[in-house]
């Protein structure tokens, strides 16, 4: 295998036919914000931050910085007001594609750069402190074009997994590219995956309980059509365990994958030219833990739709999807948000935007209100040609299972702090006096601790968890799920335990 460069950068700085018009209307926005300057600025990735409930966003800016484009990342409070905004890059072109809050309270960013590195473009990985000041940054790649699209911190080592593509390595014109680093960005391994044609990885996440990884993207080397959704399961060392393709005679792309709980399968979002109502439709694929298809869904109208982001929602284990639509809405393209039940059937859809071009690239469920935040780009609003575009929806009623009607409105926070090492504070709210059970489950769905089983009055309450099981033994670091049950209603939140 060709040796990759590992260069420290100077501190200059992620079917069933359905027409959206027939579904219920989704939630209104509490607020919308645009960020940018007089030129073009784009937002691609957003995440809620803890414990403050604000947001961290990354993308690219032509309005600010050192070069033609620079990485653009900014931190807001819970109302979307900017706390700080920064750029990173050199005199060339630098793009930010994915950002995540790290376990130490700082932030990790991936993208690509030709300001530094070994080739045309190189994968960029930059780590900042909680104020956005860069601690370190590395590039990975060779003489050709190599780009990073998605980053996630890994457990328990606090390293990073990056997905992208490489033209330097592999068998074809471009291969899916997955890079594994330690906590300081030191290269552990970097592997290409694919055949003799074009292959690309758009998202890689750690899977549990095996601590391997699942990767999604696009392949032209295999499958049924010109392009197919490409799913790759690898072990902790990067060795391929199996691959799957999804699609028809047209073309498909995969943009994001998430592991689903408690079944351990996967949910994939992308777009399809083979199925659906229009030129391109949103494509949602649910698989079991071996990648075998359980069901597929398409969403869209007679024009063009893309799906970029998906997340399993709590408490009902449905899905929230973000993308863009040209069939519905106010303008040429609008941000397109779809809420489904656990079977992928639509509950509501909503478009957000104006008379020009607006896209939704990322969606996250927010805590503790169970609303949603959408990040993207807008040409309809803002100060420049394009601006970063963030929309926060009103709270969505949580805790009512589909088909059940109850009198108790449940609200459950995801822990403060989260991730946590020694103790986390969990807030919950009852609409009426109820018997409450609060428990902690591991990723296999097994109950490991019962925090409360008692009657509590209507109103707000708090409880703490020290990361121990019911016998007082310290649990291993990893992902856990805190559940609250009252009467016939059930709410869950994901909590990350670190040591």
CATH number of the domain enclosing 433 = 2.60.40.4070
Residue that terminates a domain, selected from 359, 393, 427: 393
Q: List C-alpha distances in Å: 120 to 38, 398, 495.
A: 28, 48, 40
**What does the pLDDT look like over 407-463, one tens digit per residue?**
335 667 777 777 787 788 887 878 788 899 999 998 777 899 999 999 998 877 888
- 232 with 292, same domain: the answer is yes
Q: Please name the residues in contact with 270: beta carbons below 8 A apart, sequence gap of 6 or more.
A: 216, 218, 229, 252, 253, 254, 255, 256, 282, 283, 285, 307
- 69-83, 233-247, 307-321: least confidently modelled range: 307-321
CA pair distance 471, 448, nearest whole angstrom: 9
- 136 with 198, same domain: the answer is yes
pLDDT at 281: 98
- 200 with 236, same domain: the answer is yes
Domain assignment present for residue 398? The answer is no
- 388 with 424, same domain: the answer is no
Please report which residue ranges of 77-138 form alpha helices under DSSP H.
none
- DSSP per-residue letters across 447-487: EEEEEEEEEE-SEEEEEEE-SB-TTSPBPPSEEEEEEEEET
Residue that terminates a domain, selected from 393, 428, 453: 393
Domain assignment present for residue 169? The answer is yes
How many domains, the chain?
2
Asked if pLDDT for residue 7 goes beyond 90, the answer is no
Asked if pLDDT for residue 342 goes beyond 60, the answer is yes
pLDDT at 328: 95
- 472 with 357, same domain: the answer is no
Residue that terminates a domain, selected from 393, 423, 458: 393
The Cβ of residue 467 has, within 10 Å, a number of other Cβ atoms equal to 20
**What does the pLDDT look like over 177-223, one tens digit per residue?**
999 999 999 999 999 999 999 999 999 999 877 889 999 999 999 99
In the block, tokens 């449940």 appear at: 410
Average pLDDT value for residue range 321-347:
95
- 324 with 446, same domain: the answer is no
Nearest to 124 by CA among 139, 136, 104, 105: 139
- 347 with 429, same domain: the answer is no
- 344 with 419, same domain: the answer is no
Average pLDDT value for residue range 4-27:
42
Confidence of residue 322 (pLDDT cuts 50, 70, 90): very high
Domain span at 210: 5-393
Domain assignment present for residue 292? The answer is yes
CA pair distance 217, 255, nearest whole angstrom: 6
Report residue 46 as tokens: 């957003």
Characterise 51 by phi-psi region: left (phi > 0), alpha (psi -120 to 50), beta (else). Answer: alpha
Number of helical H runs and strand E runs in the chain:
0, 37
Asked if pLDDT for residue 271 goes beyond 60, the answer is yes
Domain assignment present for residue 399? The answer is no
- 181 with 300, same domain: the answer is yes
């Amino acid at each position: 295998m060709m040796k990759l460069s590992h260069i420290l950068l100077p501190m200059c700085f992620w079917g069933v036919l359905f027409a959206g018009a027939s579904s219920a209307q989704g939630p209104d926005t509490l607020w919308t914000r645009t960020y940018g300057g007089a030129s073009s600025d784009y937002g691609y990735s957003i995440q809620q931050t803890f414990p403050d409930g604000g947001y961290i966003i990354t993308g690219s800016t032509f309005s600010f910085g050192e070069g033609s484009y620079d990485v653009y990342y900014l931190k807001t409070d819970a109302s979307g007001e900017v706390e700080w905004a920064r750029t990173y890059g050199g005199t060339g072109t630098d793009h930010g594609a994915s950002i995540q809050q790290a376990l130490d309270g700082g932030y990790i960013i991936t993208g690509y750069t030709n300001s530094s590195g070994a080739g045309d473009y190189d994968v960029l990985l930059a780590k900042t402190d909680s104020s956005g000041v860069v601690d370190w940054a590395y590039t990975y790649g060779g003489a050709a074009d190599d780009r990073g699209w998605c980053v996630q911190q890994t457990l328990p080592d606090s390293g990073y997994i990056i997905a992208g593509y490489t033209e330097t390595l592999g068998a074809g014109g471009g291969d899916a590219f997955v890079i594994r680093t330690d906590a300081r960005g030191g290269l552990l391994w970097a592997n290409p995956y694919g055949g003799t044609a074009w292959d690309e990885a758009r998202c890689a996440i750690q899977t549990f309980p095996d601590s391997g990884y699942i990767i999604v993207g696009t392949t032209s080397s295999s499958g049924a059509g010109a392009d197919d959704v490409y799913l790759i399961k690898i072990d902790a060392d990067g060795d391929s365990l199996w691959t799957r393709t999804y699609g028809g005679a047209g073309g498909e792309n995969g943009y994001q994958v998430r592991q689903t709980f408690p079944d351990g399968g996967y949910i994939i979002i992308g777009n399809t030219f083979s199925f659906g109502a229009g030129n391109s439709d949103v494509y949602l694929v649910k698989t079991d833990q071996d990648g075998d298809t359980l069901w597929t869904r398409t969403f869209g109208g007679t024009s063009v739709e893309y799906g970029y982001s998906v997340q399993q929602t709590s408490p009902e284990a449905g899905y929230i999807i973000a993308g863009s639509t040209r069939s519905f809405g106010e303008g040429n393209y609008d941000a397109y948000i779809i809420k489904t039940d656990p079977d992928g059937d639509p509950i509501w859809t909503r478009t957000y935007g104006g008379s020009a071009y607006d896209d939704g690239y990322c969606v996250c469920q927010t805590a503790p209100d169970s609303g949603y935040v959408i990040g993207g780009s807008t040409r309809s609003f803002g100060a420049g040609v394009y601006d970063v575009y963030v929309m926060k929806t009103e709270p969505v009623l949580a805790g009512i299972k589909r088909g059940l009607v109850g009198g108790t409105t449940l609200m459950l926070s995801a822990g403060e702090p989260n991730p946590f090492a020694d103790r986390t504070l969990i807030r919950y709210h009852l609409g009426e006096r109820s018997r409450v059970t609060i428990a902690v489950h591991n990723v296999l769905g097994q109950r490991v601790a019962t925090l409360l089983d008692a009657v509590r009055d209507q109103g707000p309450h708090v409880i703490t968890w020290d990361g121990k099981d019911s016998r007082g033994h310290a649990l291993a670091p990893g992902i856990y799920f805190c559940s609250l049950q009252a009467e016939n209603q059930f709410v869950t939140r994901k909590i990350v335990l670190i040591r």
